Amino acid sequence: TRAKEIKIKLGTLLQKPDTAVDLVIPYNEKPEKPAKTQKPSLEEALQWRDSLDKLLQNNYGLASFRSFLKSEFSEENLEFWIACEDYKKTKSPAKMAEKAKKIYDEFIQTEAPKEVNIDHVTKDITVRNLVEPSRSSFDLAQKRVHALMEKDCLPRFLRSPCYQELVL
């Protein structure tokens, strides 16, 4: 019975928009190039080895990491992480529901165009969280994706010529 209730509520949330206003994309699919980003100091760039968060907080680091991931056709995890960060800043419940639907459609649902690799338990919890969207709806999935980037993408980036040029 509970599963049917969740399915009905989620179905309502995921229905096609009725008006053109609902079709407004809540975040840039193709982000603008960051404002003139300053090349990081050697010290800053070296800190990225120890912390994905320091890399993500640095505009130059984020742009370099994104460019590297795009070159490997694996930018969906970073795009999902960025979309979740944007989602958490949303104040309006209506906008939050729109963004939640877009994130679900683009990254979470099976066969999504940019489906992120999360386990089925995390996916199920995330889907349940979307019945009543809140700022923390994607937290677990975002943490899983962050851990994947830290263990897999970051080490590859640190070995890339793009990063090596900054620290040599």
User: In CATH, what number is assigned to the domain containing residue 107?
Assistant: 1.10.167.10
Task: Kindly state whether residue 123 falls inside one of the protein's structural domains.
Answer: yes
Q: Which pLDDT does position 11 carry in this prediction?
A: 59
Task: Kindly state whether residue 138 falls inside one of the protein's structural domains.
Answer: yes
What does the block give as tokens for 158?
Answer: 């640190």
Task: Kindly state whether residue 100 falls inside one of the protein's structural domains.
Answer: yes
pTM above 0.95, yes or no: no
Burial of 116-149, coded b for 16+ CB within 10 Å and e otherwise, reads bebeeebbebbbebbeebeeebbebbbebbbebb
pLDDT digits (tens, 9 = 90+) for 24-37: 444 444 434 444 56
How confident is the model over 96-110, as a mean pLDDT?
A: 96
The domain of 68 spans 42-165
Task: Kindly state whether residue 2 falls inside one of the protein's structural domains.
Answer: no
What does the block give as tokens for 100?
Answer: 């939640």
Q: Structural domain tally of the chain?
A: 1
